Structure 1
Amino acid sequence: MTSSRTQAVYRGSPTYSQTFPCEPSTASTGRMLVRGLLALWRLSDLADRAGLVVTELIANATRHTPCPEVRVIIRRPGAAWVRVGVVDREPSRLPTLGPTCDEDESGRGLLLIDAVADRWGYDLHRRGRHPWCKEVWAEIHVSGDE
């Protein structure tokens, strides 16, 4: 008996983005969005990691910026990577990975992202000379033959 297995083929740089209110409840919506898109791309094995990433990125934007909206972006910058990003309109408030104490009740979001993602960072988007927003992102390596 032979078995044929269809494998997802990577073509181009698929991207999905959506704007949401900058509030804590958006994290749940962001997780559903990431899970659904990864299932469509046949990458459900990355859903837990990517879900944690989007949750923490939204939580950081909610906590550290006064922005009314955030934009969630999920993309495949290459066959070997999935990138999850959150854009806010506070380019002057850059993410930093800082020390925490055991007693701290918050401040571990980037530590979690650093632990589950293969790389992370931020990009400033400019109009002319001045940045008008930033995207904080994390990338997860896709394992397997793509």
Structure 2
Amino acid sequence: MLDTWGLPQLVDVAAQVVTELVANAVEHTDAATVGASITRVGKESARIVVTDTSRTRPTPGTPSPDDEHGRGLLLVEALAHAWGSELVRGGKRIWAELRVPAAC
């Protein structure tokens, strides 16, 4: 979809963000279902949304250097222009906005 919208620069970042958000929903909640979508929100930006049926909101961890897990949301925070979560009817929505980096 990103290629179709003329945003090929976001493909790899979007794949990583979706992977991290879906993995977080699967591993850290008791959600019965998890869904994901992507929409274009501007000429050079897209928004990824992951929904699940859990009302537990995600919080970034503080892993030690030796920890093998706990960096997913920190990675999302580093890759996304902005991200957040909100409770919705039936669960929650976690979103991340991606923007094409400015040319140097």
Using the size of structure 1 for normalisation, the TM-score is 0.64
**Once the 2 structures are TM-superposed, how far is the Cα of residue 78 of structure 1 from its aligned partner?**
3.1
Identity within the alignment, %: 44
* Corresponding residue SS for 1:120: strand
Cα RMSD for the two superposed structures: 1.5
2:39 equivalent to 1:81: no
**Once the 2 structures are TM-superposed, how far is the Cα of residue 67 of structure 1 from its aligned partner?**
2.1
Answer whether contact 1:70 1:87 (CA < 8 A) is retained: yes
Gaps of 5+ in 1: 1-36, 127-131
Q: Which has the larger radius of gyration?
A: 1
**Once the 2 structures are TM-superposed, how far is the Cα of residue 69 of structure 1 from its aligned partner?**
2.0
- 1:3 counterpart residue number: none
- 1:61 counterpart residue number: 25
2:100 equivalent to 1:137: no
Q: How does 1:41-56 map to 2 (within 5 A)?
A: 41-56=5-20
Gaps of 5+ in 2: none
State how far apart, in whole Å, the 1-side matches of 2:31 and 2:61 are: 23
2:47 equivalent to 1:98: no
Q: How does 1:35-46 map to 2 (within 5 A)?
A: 37-46=1-10
Using the size of structure 2 for normalisation, the TM-score is 0.88
- 1:118 counterpart residue number: 81
Answer whether contact 2:36 2:49 (CA < 8 A) is retained: yes
